Structure 1
Amino acid sequence: MEYRLAVEIGGTKQQIAVGSEEGDIIDKRSVKLEMKRGSADILDWLTSNVSTMLESAECSINKICVGFGGPFDTVNGRAICSIQVPGWDDFSITQWFCDTFHKETLVLNDTAAGGMAELYKGAGAGSPCFFYTNIGTGIGGSLFIHKKFFNGTGRGAFYLGNTWVPDWTADRTGGNTGTHSSAGKSIRLEKICSGKSIEERLNRFDYAASSPYLKSLGRPLTCFDLENGVNAGDSFCIRELDAIADSFALGLANVLACSGADTIAIGGGVAKMGDILFDRIRAAMRKYEFIANAGTYKIVPSIFMDDAVLVGALLSVKYLQYI
């Protein structure tokens, strides 16, 4: 059995793990950095903690695999950019790891890594056409056809968060309870459904003014306050989550029409809401699905959730193939 070091470079969360080539994690470190200097703070943390993990590992590690949170050029080993964190533009991540730690390094997009975990050991096991996405700080996407990752021209593909959907949020400023009257306005899915965008919106002045539950909290609001508000029967929270699920399902329906995926797995922090989110997404999908897709697919939660990128990174050195 060979062992690897897996790294997740995220928009909020940074993780390192030692594990086997079959995806079993032995040791792990996680942190949420304040990142006043953007990518420089992440690189400083990695320099210190990857070195420590390599030195303290009780097994021989000769390869590193990195899941990077942003569009990545696999041909040249360079980050194109990060949508969430400044400083990654045209940065040679692969070369930086090789030069800093003197280990062979494989880098891929973090959602592609998460998809590898679910495809080989999780919710997508046995799927001939599998789509994985996450609702976290951002929203990604990865498509696998007969276990091969569809990488477009070498810079990724199926970036679900960057597809366009109607923008209903302006109608709710000031406590307005409208839903979809902003006809003609559109927005990137990530800017309306990601965890970061949801929390920014909830904390915008007067946006949640019509919510007795959220107003009663008297502090910065999180996605899980929205979840708790739904469970408490707060009408604003229910409408908000309905609209989020509807927009996300619209994006998924477009992916489904183009790919014919039989399994769609969803991870990320917001997906931890569970059934109150997934039931809404599934119901909305039935409105938007193309007739040829009806009854041919399932939508399921990630098995690995927080560990998906790390597990997939461990597996990728041995199993990753491109199409």
Structure 2
Amino acid sequence: MFLGIEIGGTKLQVVIGEPGQDPVALERMDVQPDRGAIGILDQIETATHRLLQKNKPVGIGVGFGGPVDPQTGIVAKSHQIEGWDRFPLRDWCQKTFNLPTSICNDCDAAALAEATYGAGEGAGSVFYVTVGTGVGGGFVYQGKQFGADRPAIAEIGHMRPGMHADRAEITVESIASGWGLAAEARSRLMGDVSRSLSLSRERGPIAEQTSDEFSRDLLLRCDHDLDQLTAKLIGQAAADGNELARDILDHGTQALGWAIAQVVTLIAPQVIVVGGGVSLMGDQLFFTPLRAQVRRFVFPPLADSYAIVPAALGELVVVHGALALAAQNA
């Protein structure tokens, strides 16, 4: 058995089990942001020692929500929680729990899990994309993480969407993530369309002058508090026929589809697995337009060479990947 740890910006999960199987034991906790990295380490230590009283894993795998160096086991930083800069997480785990430890980025862990036990099982090459608060990626080739010896790889969310995206803040993540969709909605409701991507877009009159009816609908859904306007609310509005919400989602899937098309053109993965909260909007609002946009931008000889499928492992995907990482390095 192995111990898998997920360290995110909002949740922590610690499990004991075998890769690809239901966990033998699970502890799930909410992150307390005001306590910073020290608070998270305290939570992990308490939960793990509780699990170790009844279980005897032989190694630890960690999926961390931010850039890490898998070779040194050092966290570069967290974009959500203070106190992680240059933290030696692997050494801390090994000293605290007296078990060999491997760490990687949480999206790389999720990619390994989906490629090995999830929606990409059986494929020789799998590119994983998560579309939630941010947009991340991971690439697994012949069952192994590709680029594990590099500081970062497959960071699809940080691609600049086209040659006209010359502002540092304009990335695929800033447009296609849940945060990006909400930010565009707020800008459109306030009459600011300066965020728009310079890719050609088939946009009707709604793009030039937002309809009062659709704007009022979005405002009502967030009780006229734009800070409460989320991608989930936008998706619900689009499903109910709000054309402004649908146009915002189309913008996001266009940027993401363009980015995935570049990945397919460069490395030709057999399967692209897409997970994360935004992907849960389903086929009509997300996967069908996403597939159309990928096909629009991809190198034509590769247009029928890949499958784009929903993720299969749910909220345990990162810890499944962490267990797999621990097993591979045992």
TM-score range relative to shorter protein: 0.7 to 0.9
Where does residue 215 of structure 1 map in the other structure? 219
- Contact 2:175/2:251 (<8 A) preserved: no
State the alpha-carbon separation in 1 of the partners of residues 39 and 184 from structure 2: 26
For structure 1, which segment, 262-271 or 183-192, has the greater mean C-alpha deviation from structure 2 after superposition? 183-192
Secondary structure of the 2:102 match is strand
Please give the TM-score of this superposition, normalised by the length of structure 2: 0.84
Identity of counterpart residues, as a percentage?
Answer: 30
1:256 pairs with 2:264: yes
- Contact 2:66/2:76 (<8 A) preserved: yes
State the alpha-carbon separation in 1 of the partners of residues 165 and 130 from structure 2: 27
Look up the equivalent residue of 2:175 and give its one-letter code: I
- Name the CA shift for 1:205/1:13 in 2 (closer, same or farther; >3 Å): farther
- Contact 1:84/1:138 (<8 A) preserved: no
1:48 pairs with 46, 68, 81, which one? 46
- Contact 1:261/1:297 (<8 A) preserved: yes
Secondary structure of the 2:269 match is coil
1:87 pairs with 2:83: yes
Please give the TM-score of this superposition, normalised by the length of structure 1: 0.86
Where does residue 283 of structure 1 map in the other structure? 292
The alpha carbon displacement at 1:109 in A equals 1.3
The alpha carbon displacement at 1:101 in A equals 2.0
1:225 pairs with 233, 237, 240, which one? 233
Map 1:121-136; keep pairs closer than 5 Å. 121-136=117-132
1:63 pairs with 2:59: yes
- Contact 1:212/1:234 (<8 A) preserved: no
1:36 pairs with 2:49: no
Secondary structure of the 1:317 match is helix
Where does residue 159 of structure 2 map in the other structure? 163
- Cα deviation 1:120-174 (Å, max 9, x = unaligned): 111111111210111122222111222221116432311111111159xxxxxxx
1:194 pairs with 177, 193, 197, which one? 177
The alpha carbon displacement at 1:63 in A equals 1.7
State the alpha-carbon separation in 2 of the partners of residues 122 and 152 from structure 1: 20
Look up the equivalent residue of 1:293 and give its one-letter code: L
Where does residue 72 of structure 2 map in the other structure? 76
The alpha carbon displacement at 1:82 in A equals 2.2
State the alpha-carbon separation in 2 of the partners of residues 100 and 227 from structure 1: 44
The alpha carbon displacement at 1:119 in A equals 1.1
Taking only aligned residues, the RMSD between alpha carbons, in angstroms, comes to: 2.4
Look up the equivalent residue of 1:281 and give its one-letter code: L
- Cα deviation 1:221-258 (Å, max 9, x = unaligned): 22211111011100111001000110111111111111
Secondary structure of the 1:25 match is coil
State the alpha-carbon separation in 2 of the partners of residues 39 and 262 from structure 1: 38
Secondary structure of the 2:101 match is strand
- Contact 2:9/2:31 (<8 A) preserved: no
State the alpha-carbon separation in 1 of the partners of residues 187 and 44 from structure 2: 33
1:304 pairs with 2:303: no
State the alpha-carbon separation in 2 of the partners of residues 234 and 147 from structure 1: 43
- Unpaired runs of at least 5, structure 2: 192-211
- Contact 2:257/2:290 (<8 A) preserved: yes
State the alpha-carbon separation in 1 of the partners of residues 9 and 39 from structure 2: 12
State the alpha-carbon separation in 2 of the partners of residues 224 and 290 from structure 1: 32
Where does residue 154 of structure 1 map in the other structure? 150
State the alpha-carbon separation in 2 of the partners of residues 20 and 257 from structure 1: 35
1:101 pairs with 2:84: no
- Contact 1:150/1:156 (<8 A) preserved: no
1:265 pairs with 2:263: no
Where does residue 20 of structure 1 map in the other structure? 18
Q: How many residues align?
A: 303
- Contact 1:269/1:306 (<8 A) preserved: no
Look up the equivalent residue of 2:322 and give its one-letter code: A
Look up the equivalent residue of 1:83 and give its one-letter code: H
Where does residue 324 of structure 2 map in the other structure? 315
